Amino acid sequence: MSNFIPLSIPNFKGKELEYVTKAVETEWVSTGGAYIDQFEEQIAQYLNVGQAVACQSGTAGLHLALKLSGVEYADEVIVPTLTFIAAVNPVRYLGAEPVFMDCDDTLNIDLDKLEEFCNNECHLTEKGLVNKKTNKVIKAMAIVHVFGNIANMERVMNIAQKYKLKVIEDATEALGSYYLEGKYEGKYAGTIGDFGVYSFNGNKIITTGGGGMLVGQNNDLVSKAKYLSTQAKDDTLYYIHDEVGYNYRMTNLQAALGVAQLEQLEKFIETKKRNYHLYKTEIDELKGLELLNFNKNIRPNYWFYSLAINKEQYGLDRDQLLRKLNESGIQTRPIWGLNHEQKPYVNNEAYKIEKAKYYLDRVLNIPCSTNLEEKDVLRVANILKALKYSL
């Protein structure tokens, strides 16, 4: 379909080909090479952190973050139900179990319910926070900044300190989002908790095809993450390994893409911001549709645009609108299936899940690529208008 508008695709209009070609010409294409070091250094500089570790994927970074947070077999980790399942699966990699939390109106984890759960359903012991129902220690919580909208990290960190929990910031969707005011003014998503993890999957704001990055507050632990990600080599000449490691290192080819993409990140965010506000202007006049807001105290990266649908006012429900848009060449998708309802996790504890179900039934993500042009945004908006007025 020639006029097809995809949901979110890469934008390779910078020096990607130049840098990847250079990596190929130097024959450094695997998990060693100058571009890996360069990408790590430039990400660390951008985020204003001490160091960063380039990983095979955001999921690999989350696995390492959980492990280095002390999560072990039979522990528990608090996670949101409304997020991509990659935020949850690494808990199981370690033999631990997730406890699922609801979302609030920002689509991020509901901190009222989180604090209520910690206060009423758990008790503090010398071992840490213990779940009364399971008698297991809750070691950490994974805070996902959904669609680039930063959670209330000041409150998150206060809860974490009160209940002795480690904080893993899943900033896989939020590279470039930062606080404009408050205690963490100027701090980027992913740089506040014990660990932060980013993703460079093909649909992210910058991409390396696949890949991720890990940062953290403790430089020794971040160095340990790098050690573990490279098969825990204690002697690289004689291949001596004192611990079980992982093949989690990013390749030099991926990093070459990343360096070129990072050079364009702020331009990408400006494009996403402009398109978001154009959508909002067009959609605000349509009764029954609302483009969800980002938090006012942050500079978001505007990664994904969430369209909330009121069937009674608009005339179509989520799935009906999804089909109509796809038939018109507009790729959309619903929010992920809720994790506490996924087959591997149906027996796990899920605490008062309400709003996540509400938004699951009512939200679609609409096209948001960084190469989206004004005419594309207006075409999507005009189709939304035509669908309403044709009913």
370 in a structural domain = yes
pLDDT tier, 157 (very low <50, low <70, confident <90, very high otherwise): very high
Q: Buried (b) or exposed (e) across 62-95, using 16+ Cβ within 10 A?
A: bbbbbbbbebeeebbbbbbbbbbebbbbbbeebe
Q: CATH number for the domain including 349?
A: 3.90.1150.10
pLDDT tens digits along 69-122 = 999 999 999 999 999 999 999 999 999 999 999 999 999 999 999 999 999 999
How much is the average pLDDT of 54-65? 98
8 in a structural domain = no
Percent of the chain's residues with pLDDT above 70: 99
State whether 334 and 207 are in the same domain.
Answer: no
State whether 250 and 269 are in the same domain.
Answer: no
Indicate whether 390 pLDDT > 90.
Answer: no
State whether 103 and 186 are in the same domain.
Answer: yes
How much is the average pLDDT of 26-52? 96
Percent of the chain's residues with pLDDT above 90: 97
Indicate whether 1 pLDDT > 60.
Answer: no
- Indicate left, alpha or beta for 211 from its phi (over 0: left) and psi (-120 to 50: alpha): left
162 in a structural domain = yes
Indicate whether 2 pLDDT > 70.
Answer: no
**3-class state of residue 223 by DSSP:** helix
C-alpha 214/C-alpha 204 separation (Å) is 16
27 in a structural domain = yes
Please report which helix (H) or strand (E) contains residue 128, including its range. strand 128-131
State whether 238 and 257 are in the same domain.
Answer: yes
205 in a structural domain = yes
How much is the average pLDDT of 363-383? 97
Indicate whether 168 pLDDT > 80.
Answer: yes
- Per the structure, the complete domain to which residue 353 belongs is given by 265-389
> Would you mind telling me the total number of residues written for the chain in this entry?
391
How much is the average pLDDT of 338-344? 98
- Torsion, CA 282, CA 285, CA 291, CA 293, rounded to 10: 100
Q: Of 216, 239, 262, which residue is a domain's last?
A: 262
pLDDT tier, 389 (very low <50, low <70, confident <90, very high otherwise): confident
* Whole-number average pLDDT of the chain: 97
Q: Of 204, 239, 262, which residue is a domain's last?
A: 262
Indicate whether 391 pLDDT > 80.
Answer: no
Q: Name the pTM for this structure.
A: 0.97
How many structural domains does the chain have? 2
**3-class state of residue 170 by DSSP:** strand
The stretches of 284-329 forming alpha helices (DSSP H) are 311-314, 318-327
pLDDT computed for residue 3 by the predictor = 87
7 in a structural domain = no
State whether 119 and 212 are in the same domain.
Answer: yes
pLDDT tens digits along 262-292 = 999 999 999 999 999 999 999 998 999 999 9
3-state helix, strand, coil in the chain (%, to 5): 40, 20, 40
State whether 239 and 307 are in the same domain.
Answer: no
Whether the CB-CB separation of 54 and 211 falls below 8 Å is answered with: yes
Q: Of 225, 240, 262, which residue is a domain's last?
A: 262
